[in-house]
């Protein structure tokens, strides 16, 4: 392995704690240990911190505090959100884009319905809005799920163009988008995950607009307060602080990242038999995915790790599923030799240049060793 410090280029999977989150978390650990449901001093203190976290997150997401709930993760938020919407409507069918996060696909599979529909996407990963709306109007459909941005290729989805039928709520998975791009305005429920924006892991967010029919689909009380049991008050407050700080610096960071990724995309396109995927313009600013023929994705990732660059592969067979990326397959893109690079808030131009040089050398080396 490389003796140099790793250049972390997998921020789309998880980010380091934002400095604002670290400072807030340490301070809150001494105050947020109590049960917010109790009336003693420690309980009232914890309730104050939790309510403050909800108010900050609500303001950041253009919602009301009573519309915000904290969950155990972004995946948990998607499951509670989608299944709660369909439970409330009494119709189990879920219409969704073919490139949604696996949490959506798992929720769909968990409660089977003949009304389920996966809507195709084009070569950039953008969903067919007309087909989505048509499918949403069919009998038995209780909810529509459409992500704000794709977690593998970065393509932004046309959420605000979706005019779902009355009584069919729209859930937007915004985990990949929060903190990077402005969020869509048209949604009934929204989910996100704090560790994607510099907050601590283990904090998901579920927002349900007032007037939207939703009920807790799992054992427990209805309502968004204290979903899933005892709340992690310090982590929720740290997540709120990170979100507030990230949004304050978003414009500057996103502009810098967008330019760096443009440079990276250009460098990758100079490699023979390499395909850059996703929309080149309507995309997340910090993320690029590409596929190299004749090279295994895990092989490239391991080679780059030895050179000191931490990246991800969304297409190589994983130990758990042994299946290629459903996102790339739905787009008709290469699912072999895939690499996803996602920049952090502190990634520099020199680090990107170093990565481009290492990538070219390793791809050429691997292909040469294979006799290509």
Asked if 60 is an active-site residue, the reply is no
Output the CATH code of domain 19-245: 3.40.640.10
The arithmetic mean of pLDDT across residues 50-66, rounded, is 97
Which residues partner with 193 through β-bridges? 204
3-state helix, strand, coil in the chain (%, to 5): 40, 15, 45
Task: Give kind and range of the element (H or E) at residue 137.
Answer: none
Q: What is the pLDDT of residues 23-44, one digit of tens each?
A: 999 999 999 999 899 999 999 9
Q: Which two tokens stand for residue 160?
A: 């605000």
Contact 175, 195 (CB under 8 A): no
Chosen CATH of 7-15+249-369 out of 3.90.1150.10, 3.40.50.10860, 3.40.50.970, 3.40.50.2000 = 3.90.1150.10
| Catalytic residue (choose from 60, 292, 317, 356) | 317
**Alpha carbon distance 30, 21 (integer Å):** 15
The whole-number pLDDT of residue 1 equals 45
Residue 314 has pLDDT above 80, yes or no: no
Domain residue spans in the chain?
7-15+249-369, 19-245
Q: Which residue has the tokens 């507030």?
A: 244
For the chain, where are the E strands, in sequence order? 7-8, 68-71, 93-97, 117-119, 141-145, 170-173, 189-193, 204-208, 274-277, 287-292, 309-310, 338-342
Give CA–CA dist 34/238, Å, rounded.
16
Task: Over range 139-152, report the average pLDDT.
Answer: 97
| pTM of the predicted structure, to 2 decimals | 0.93
Return the structure tokens found at 265.
């995309």
């Amino acid at each position: 392995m490389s003796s140099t410090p790793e250049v972390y280029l997998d921020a789309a999977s998880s980010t380091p704690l934002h400095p604002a989150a670290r400072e807030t978390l340490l301070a809150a650990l001494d105050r947020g240990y109590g049960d917010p449901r109790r009336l003693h001093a420690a309980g009232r203190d914890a309730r104050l911190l939790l309510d403050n976290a909800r108010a900050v997150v609500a303001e950041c997401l253009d919602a009301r505090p009573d519309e915000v709930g904290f969950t155990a993760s972004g995946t948990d938020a998607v499951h509670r959100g989608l299944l709660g919407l369909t439970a409330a409507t009494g119709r189990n069918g879920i219409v969704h884009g073919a490139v949604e996060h696996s949490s959506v696909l798992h929720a769909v599979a968990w409660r089977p319905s003949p009304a389920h529909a996966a809507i195709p996407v084009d070569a950039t990963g953008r969903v067919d809005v007309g087909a989505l709306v048509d499918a949403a109007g069919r009998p038995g459909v209780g909810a529509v799920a459409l992500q704000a941005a794709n977690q593998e290729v970065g393509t932004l989805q046309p959420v605000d163009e979706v005019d779902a039928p009355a009584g069919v709520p729209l859930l937007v998975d915004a985990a990949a988008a929060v903190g990077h791009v402005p969020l869509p305005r048209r949604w009934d429920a929204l989910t996100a995950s704090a560790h994607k924006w510099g907050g601590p892991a283990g904090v998901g967010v579920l927002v349900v607009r007032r007037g939207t029919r939703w009920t807790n689909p799992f054992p427990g009380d209805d309502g968004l307060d204290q979903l899933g049991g005892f709340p992690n008050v310090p982590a929720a407050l740290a997540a709120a602080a990170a979100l507030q700080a990230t949004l304050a610096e978003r414009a500057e960071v996103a502009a810098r990242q967008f330019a760096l990724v443009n440079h990276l995309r250009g460098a990758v396109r100079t490699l023979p038999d390499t395909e850059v995927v996703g929309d080149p313009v309507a995309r997340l600013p910090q993320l690029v995915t590409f596929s190299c023929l004749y090279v295994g994705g895990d092989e490239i990732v391991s080679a780059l790790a030895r050179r000191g660059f931490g990246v991800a592969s969304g297409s190589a067979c994983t130990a758990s599923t042994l299946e290629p990326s459903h996102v790339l397959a739905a787009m008709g893109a290469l699912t072999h030799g895939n690499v996803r690079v996602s920049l952090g808030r502190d990634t520099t131009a020199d680090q990107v240049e170093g990565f481009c040089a290492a990538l070219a050398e390793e791809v050429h080396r691997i292909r040469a060793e294979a006799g290509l």
